A and B are shown apart, each in its own frame.
Chain A
Amino acid sequence: MNCIIIDDETAARAIVAQLCSKIKDLDVIQEFDNAIEAIKFLNQQEIDLVFLDIHMPGFTGIDFVQTLKNSPKIVMTTSDTEFAIASYEYEAIVDYLVKPITPERFHKCLQKVKSSLDTAPKRDSEPNAKSGISQDLYINIDRRLIKLKYDEILLIEAKGDYINIKTETKDYTVHTTLKKIHSKLPTDLFLQIHRSFIINFTKIIDIEDNSVLIEKSVVPISRSNRPELMRRLNLL
């Protein structure tokens, strides 16, 4: 069984890691001091168990649980018992440990986790658009993860170290590269037509020689990307 630990307090992470080290078949894969980094990690790697602090500034443990779609088992850790009831509203949450966590209580918790994993149906390991699980993308704006549905996105423009995501209702500026976001988008919907532009292929209104009209935006087509665009069109 593998796990990650999320807590903004170094001492708290060290305690959980030490308790884990005493369990024979439990490996701590990584520790995180904030939930957003952990979500990025969970998008890349399958994990059996998350030890999650509820009370973290900005993006809390409960925000984290609500954000995950295909969640691993979660054990909440906190100094406050007041959050206990709220935490049990979520199916993925197996147990609730009050700090400072004792070895005895930790062992009991692990028993619960193991029984829970034994009885749980296997999680989908490869979420994708076709399975209907991932039809959207989360972007990080001011330490909050905002969900954008793929079909809301019109186009994405590179702006130096940032990208501008234009949707039907709003524009979002995100600190990342066009290359990085391109790798996260489904290729059947999105196409790079210029060094600085990715478009939602289904949102094209019309195409002129060197540009595409998407809603009210005119987007240039580079010479090198034009053949792929033409290949994808259902031309009469």
Chain B
Amino acid sequence: MSEAPNLKYLDKLAGDDIEFRQKFIDILKEEFPDEQEEYNNNVGNMNYREASENVHKIKHKLNILGLDESHSLAVRYEFELRNGANSLAEQFQAILKNVENYLNTI
């Protein structure tokens, strides 16, 4: 997945509200690692139903960060997990890493 995350959506939402912009970045930085950890635990324990709930939450953040292709994969992966399969796990893990790296730079 070669997509690069961006903050275009946030910039549009925040406008000149710098305070909100920073607050929202802080929320992403705080909430994403928790969701990532919970997802990894659930997948590790083969709790696919719960993992699908984690993917559901994470996929919103992919949209927020302009990761359209990653979002499409997450939609398919969420559905797959709900049905007890995880063939897209590796690709989703790469998406998580991509987001994690990006959040460390902002």
Please give me the 5 A-B residue pairs with the lowest Cβ-Cβ distance, nearest first.
Answer: A100-B63, A11-B27, A100-B64, A79-B60, A99-B60
Chain B residues within 8 Å of chain A by Cβ, number? 20
Whether the Cβ atoms of A12 and B60 lie closer than 8 Å is yes
Count residues of chain A with CB under 8 A from any CB of chain B: 16
Flag whether A127 is at the interface (Cβ < 8 A): no
1/0 per residue A1-42: CB within 8 Å of B? 000000011111011001100000000000000000000000
B14-A18 in contact (CB<8A): yes
Query: Within the assembled complex, what's the spacing in Å between the Cα atoms of A105 and B16?
Result: 20
B12 touches A79 (CB 8 A): no
B60/A103 in contact, CB under 8 A: no
Task: Produce 1/0 per residue, B44-60, CB < 8 A to A.
Answer: 00000000010011011
Give the distance in Å from the alpha carbon of A220 to the alpha carbon of B28 in the complex.
Answer: 56
A-contact bits for B10-29, CB 8 A (1 contact / 0 none): 00111001001001100110
- Does B102 interact with chain A (Cβ within 8 Å)? no
> A11 with B28: in contact, given A19-B13, A99-B63, A100-B63 (CB under 8 Å)?
yes
In the bound complex, what is the Cα–Cα distance between A70 and B78 (angstroms)?
A: 34
A55 on the interface (CB 8 Å rule)?
A: yes
Residues of chain B whose beta carbon lies under 8 Å from any beta carbon of chain A: 9, 12-14, 17, 20, 23-24, 27-28, 30-31, 53, 56-57, 59-61, 63-64
Give the residue name and chain of the A residue nearest to B34 (CB).
A10
Closest beta carbon of chain A to B82's beta carbon, Å? 12
Q: Is the CB of A11 within 8 A of B63?
A: no
Inter-chain CA distance A10–B64, complex, in Å, is 13
Contact of A9 among B9, B20, B60 (CB under 8 A): B60
Residue A160 interfacial (CB < 8 Å): no
Q: Are A14 and B60 in contact (CB under 8 A)?
A: no
In the assembled complex, the CB of A207 is this many whole angstroms from the nearest CB of chain B, namely: 53
List of B residues within 8 angstroms of A12 by Cβ: 60
A76 to B85, CA, bound (A): 29
With CB as the reference atom, state the residue of chain B lying closest to A9: B57
Query: Separation in Å of the B106 CB from the closest CB of chain A?
Result: 14
Measured between beta carbons, the chain A residues less than 8 angstroms from B20 are 14, 18
A79 vs B13: C-alpha distance in the bound complex, in angstroms?
17
A121 within 8 A of B: no
Closest residue of chain B to A102 (Cβ to Cβ) is B12
Q: How far is the CA of A99 from the CA of B60 in the complex (A)?
A: 7
* Residue A132, interface by CB 8 Å: no
Q: Are A14 and B24 in contact (CB under 8 A)?
A: yes
Q: Are B27 and A18 in contact (CB under 8 A)?
A: no
**A56–B14 CA distance with the chains assembled, in angstroms:** 26
Chain B residues with Cβ under 8 A from A103's Cβ? 12-13
User: Can you give 19 A-B contacts (C-beta < 8 A)?
Assistant: A9-B31, A9-B57, A9-B60, A10-B27, A10-B31, A11-B24, A11-B27, A11-B60, A14-B20, A14-B23, A15-B24, A18-B20, A55-B56, A57-B53, A79-B60, A79-B63, A99-B60, A100-B9, A102-B12
Nearest residue in A to B23 (C-beta to C-beta)? A14
Contact with B along A83-111 (1 / 0, CB 8 A): 00000000000000001101100000000
Q: Which residue of A has the minimal Cβ distance to B35?
A: A9
Inter-chain contacts of B57 with A (CB < 8 A): 8-9
